[in-house]
């Protein structure tokens, strides 16, 4: 009765956990929108929806971070939908955060559509469209709205996301199971289920890596799955940072195959048997009492020496396996770190602030995740195989250390990615982070239940011991047409026993409860991996919120906070410029003044003076601020003319640091330059 009550209570707890998991997954699917890229479009030349008097010679786009370009990253279409660009866009003036494509000469008046796609520095694609007009707006057959909503093909995006999730899970399975057998259960390498787990992890990681490599090109360019085997796209992917990481992962998997063969071949060998204790020689039966005392003392001394000798022999017999485990452990750790680096080196950790610290922390985070989640899969098999409480205790200590590392590195990654409490609920990255944190809390709750089952297992010596492997004898072959019903029933029982041999031998009631708890923990881990993949596809909350704030501050007609000017706080920056043109305004000095030169709103004044010190007028001037150390900007400033060569505006500088001011000066239709200068705020 008590056992039945415990069983029902366990079922209720598991049902509650599964219900909570379902609610969290529903929240994840309902609250998480489509993944957007890290880079955002800050400004364009010509400006969006602008009407220019004469046709420009090129179209220039400026992004919030460096982007990589392909041969068709920027396309310009005339009102009839015909391409009028020269193709092969490049970075303007060598700046990695820009894209410029030339235009054909003799463009007629009308509305032109610019469609663009690029890949941000942290490997995520971004795309959109806008229009500008020459002379006057006109009707156009091109739908800018449709182009602006263009994104990766639905099937390609689903396959690409699935491939990334499978890769995470396969890495956890491969690294976690290998660590489990090296540290907790060396004898497990000789078991077929463990070998299948290792090969499943290796094969799944190999297949998913190849799939992501093939799908990357169509995913970036928004084409269909049929382009996955286009060698041109594959070569273009290999030239990118993420392509280099995927190629390195394939090479490391080749080394991983050799490691697995050594792991199974060397560690799976049974240890050398320790010689049995030799039988004591028969002594005389007669003698004095003194002789008997001397004999007893001598026997005790010989027993102690024999015990010490057996201990030395046991250590000598185990030494080769210990050395093998140590060598394989070091090799496996190096391989795991290198594999983890192929993810970290191409994701959010590789850009932004404190890259030098974010990269090793990201590697630690991935390895701790693999030790915990992959170890859970190995523990499920080990419990089915009837391992003792000692093996579970070892993994429990490893899991505790992994959770501590995950907590420390996760807190740092959250701070680095969010930047503010508002981003926790105001950005997609923050909401996904909340969902992931909730799933991890559920895992910890289930892990606490598992520890309770482990305590019960320890308290029952009969169940805590490892279950010996038993072999079921081969059935005696008889004729299939035997008429003896008793013999047929006996053969059926033997067949059923062989099919279930070993599967249930270790599942005592306590072990079964522990295994169910671990199974629930592993199911929640799958949800954690899904959310982790979505996190890597979303822009960090720090960047999303700061870029949005900068864009809102610079938007035309937006109500900006009035800067609080202070006497004596003005910072003056002089930027000499030379557009290489022949007009009088082609050379001079751009003077930028800020007041009060601190974080928050600042009053900005811009003055352009020629070489003679007199104000000069130019067809176009743009002013922007960038904070490279925090991956913020460019933040453009909306300028208001105040006479010849004079402008004013308001700049929102949200953070302290070493800012860079850039002034883009265009002295004619074809001559322009962008001088920059660094200054410090705070």
Residue 465 pLDDT more than 70? no
Q: Supply the pLDDT for residue 555.
A: 41
Q: pLDDT by residue (tens digit) across 19-48? A: 544 444 444 333 333 333 357 788 888 888
Q: How far apart are CA 112 and CA 368, in angstroms?
A: 52
pLDDT, mean of residues 538-545: 58
Contact 588, 667 (CB under 8 A): no
Q: Among 52-61, 227-236, 325-334, which is the least confidently predicted range?
A: 227-236
pLDDT surpasses 60 at 368: yes
pLDDT of the residue at 204: 95
pLDDT tens readout for residues 493-529: 666 655 554 444 455 676 677 777 777 777 777 777 7
pLDDT top residue among 122 and 560: 122
Q: Is the pLDDT of residue 556 over 50?
A: no
594 or 543, greater pLDDT: 594
**Contact (Cβ atoms closer than 8 angstroms) between residue 629 and residue 656:** no
Instruction: Give yes or no for residue 342 having a pLDDT over 90.
Output: yes
Region 336-361 average pLDDT = 83
Give the pLDDT confidence score for residue 21 in this predicted structure: 42
> Closest Cα partner for 59 from 105, 116, 101, 115?
101
Look at 84-93, 115-124, 314-323, 542-551 and tell me which has the smallest mean pLDDT: 542-551
Query: What is the mean predicted confidence (pLDDT) over 446-474?
Result: 60
Average pLDDT score over residue span 629-634: 68
Q: What is the pLDDT of residue 256?
A: 92
Which pLDDT score, from 0 to 100, does residue 444 have?
77
Cβ partners under 8 Å of residue 334, min gap 6: none
397, pLDDT greater than 80 = yes
Does residue 14 surpass a pLDDT of 70?
no
Please report the pLDDT score of residue 175 as a whole number.
Answer: 94
Contacts made by residues 417-420, CB under 8 angstroms, sequence distance 24+: 417/348, 417/540, 417/541, 417/542, 418/540, 418/541, 418/542, 419/540, 419/541, 419/542, 419/545, 419/546, 420/541, 420/542, 420/545
Comparing 459 with 551, the larger pLDDT belongs to: 459
Could you tell me what percent of the chain has a pLDDT over 90? 13
pLDDT reported for residue 26: 44
Return the higher-pLDDT residue of 315 and 42.
42
Beta pairing class for 51-52 and 125-134: parallel
Question: In the prediction, which pLDDT does 144 show?
Answer: 53
- Residue 662, Cβ density class (10 Å: 0-12 exposed, 13-18 middle, ≥19 buried): buried
Task: Give dist(CA 300, CA 399) in Å, integer.
Answer: 45
Where residue 299 falls among pLDDT bands split at 50, 70, 90? Answer: low
Predicted confidence (pLDDT) at residue 121 exceeds the cutoff of 60? yes
Query: Contact 50/132 with Cβ under 8 angstroms?
Result: yes
Q: Is 49 left (phi over 0), alpha (psi -120 to 50) or beta?
A: left
Q: What would the pLDDT profile of 42-101 be if each residue is shown by its tens digit?
A: 888 888 878 888 889 899 998 877 787 877 788 898 888 888 998 888 888 778 888 999
Is residue 285's pLDDT more than 70? no
User: Average pLDDT of the chain?
Assistant: 75
Q: What is the pLDDT of residue 63?
A: 86
- CA–CA gap between residue 648 and residue 636 (Å, rounded): 13
| Predicted local distance difference test score (pLDDT) of residue 202 | 96
pLDDT (mean) for 235-264: 89
How many angstroms separate the Cα of 667 from the Cα of each of 50, 132, 454, 573? 19, 21, 77, 21
- Predicted confidence at residue 402, as pLDDT, reads 84
pLDDT for the residue 542: 57
Which tens digits make up the pLDDT trace of 570-601? Answer: 788 888 998 888 888 888 999 999 888 887 78
pLDDT attached to residue 440: 76
Residue 196 is predicted with a pLDDT of: 93
What pLDDT, on the 0 to 100 scale, is given for residue 607? 92
Q: How confident is the model at residue 283 (pLDDT cuts 50, 70, 90)?
A: very low
Pick from 676, 645, 646: nearest CA to 659: 676
Residues 6 or more apart from 520 whose CB is under 8 A from it? 14, 17, 18, 446
Per-residue pLDDT at 541 exceeds 70: no
Residue 249 backbone class (left: φ over 0; alpha: ψ -120 to 50; beta: rest)? alpha
């Amino acid at each position: 009765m008590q056992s039945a009550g415990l069983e029902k209570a366990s079922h209720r707890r598991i049902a509650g956990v599964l219900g909570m998991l379902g609610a969290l997954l529903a929240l994840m699917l309902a609250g998480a929108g489509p993944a957007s890229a890290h880079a955002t479009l800050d400004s364009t030349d010509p400006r969006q929806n602008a009407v220019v008097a004469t046709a420009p010679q090129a179209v220039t786009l400026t992004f919030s971070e460096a982007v990589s370009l392909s041969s068709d990253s920027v396309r310009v279409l005339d009102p009839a939908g015909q391409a009028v660009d020269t193709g092969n866009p490049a970075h303007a003036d060598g700046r990695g955060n820009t894209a410029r494509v030339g235009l054909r000469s003799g463009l007629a008046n009308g509305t032109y559509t610019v469609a663009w796609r690029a890949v941000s520095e942290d490997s995520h694609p971004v795309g959109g469209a806008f229009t500008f007009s020459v002379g006057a707006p006109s009707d156009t057959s091109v739908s800018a709205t449709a182009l602006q909503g263009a994104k990766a093909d639905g099937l390609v995006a689903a396959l690409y996301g699935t491939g990334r999730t499978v890769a995470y899970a396969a890495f956890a399975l491969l690294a976690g199971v290998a660590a489990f057998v090296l540290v907790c259960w060396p004898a497990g390498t000789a078991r077929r289920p463990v070998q299948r787990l290792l090969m499943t992890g290796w094969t799944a990681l190999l297949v998913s890596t190849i799939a992501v490599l093939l799908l990357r090109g169509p995913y970036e360019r928004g084409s269909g799955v049929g382009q996955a085997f286009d060698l041109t796209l594959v070569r273009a992917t290999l030239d990118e940072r993420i392509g280099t990481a995927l190629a390195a992962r394939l090479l490391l998997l080749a080394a991983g195959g050799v490691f697995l063969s050594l792991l199974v071949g060397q560690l799976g060998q049974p240890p050398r048997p320790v010689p049995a204790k030799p039988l004591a020689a028969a002594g005389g039966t007669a003698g004095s009492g003194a002789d008997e005392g001397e004999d007893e003392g001598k026997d005790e001394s010989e027993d102690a020496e024999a015990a010490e000798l057996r201990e030395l022999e046991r250590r000598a017999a185990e030494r080769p396996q210990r050395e093998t485990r140590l060598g394989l452990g070091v090799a496996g750790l190096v391989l795991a770190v290198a594999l983890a680096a192929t993810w970290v080196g191409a994701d959010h950790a590789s850009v932004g602030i404190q890259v030098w610290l974010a990269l090793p922390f990201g590697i630690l985070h991935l390895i701790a995740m693999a030790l915990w989640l992959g170890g859970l899969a190995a523990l499920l098999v080990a419990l089915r195989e009837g391992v003792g409480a000692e093996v579970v205790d070892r993994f429990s200590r490893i899991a505790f250390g992994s959770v501590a590392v995950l907590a420390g590195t996760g807190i740092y990654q959250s701070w680095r990615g969010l930047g503010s409490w508002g981003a926790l609920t105001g950005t997609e990255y923050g909401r996904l982070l909340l969902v992931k944190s909730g799933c991890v809390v559920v895992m910890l709750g289930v892990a606490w239940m598992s520890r309770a089952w482990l305590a019960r297992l320890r308290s029952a010596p009969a169940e805590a011991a490892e279950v010996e492997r038993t072999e079921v004898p081969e059935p005696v072959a008889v004729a299939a047409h035997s008429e003896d019903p008793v013999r047929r029933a006996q053969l059926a029982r033997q067949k059923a026993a062989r099919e279930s041999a070993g599967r249930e031998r270790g599942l005592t009631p306590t072990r079964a409860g522990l295994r169910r708890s671990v199974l629930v923990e592993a199911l929640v881990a799958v949800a954690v991996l899904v959310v982790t993949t979505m996190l890597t596809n979303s822009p960090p909350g720090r960047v999303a919120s700061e870029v949005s704030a900068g864009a809102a501050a610079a938007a035309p007609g937006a109500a900006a906070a009035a800067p609080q000017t202070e006497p004596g706080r003005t910072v003056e920056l002089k930027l000499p410029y030379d557009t290489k043109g022949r007009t009088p305004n082609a050379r001079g000095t751009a003077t930028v003044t800020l007041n009060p030169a601190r974080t928050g709103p600042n009053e900005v004044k811009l003055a352009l003076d020629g070489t003679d010190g007199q104000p000069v007028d130019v067809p176009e001037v743009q002013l922007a601020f960038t904070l490279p150390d925090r991956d913020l900007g460019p933040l453009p400033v909306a300028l208001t003319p105040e006479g010849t060569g004079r402008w004013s505006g308001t700049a929102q500088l949200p953070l302290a640091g070493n800012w860079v001011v850039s002034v883009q000066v265009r002295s004619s239709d074809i001559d322009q330059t962008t001088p920059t200068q660094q200054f410090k705020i705070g």
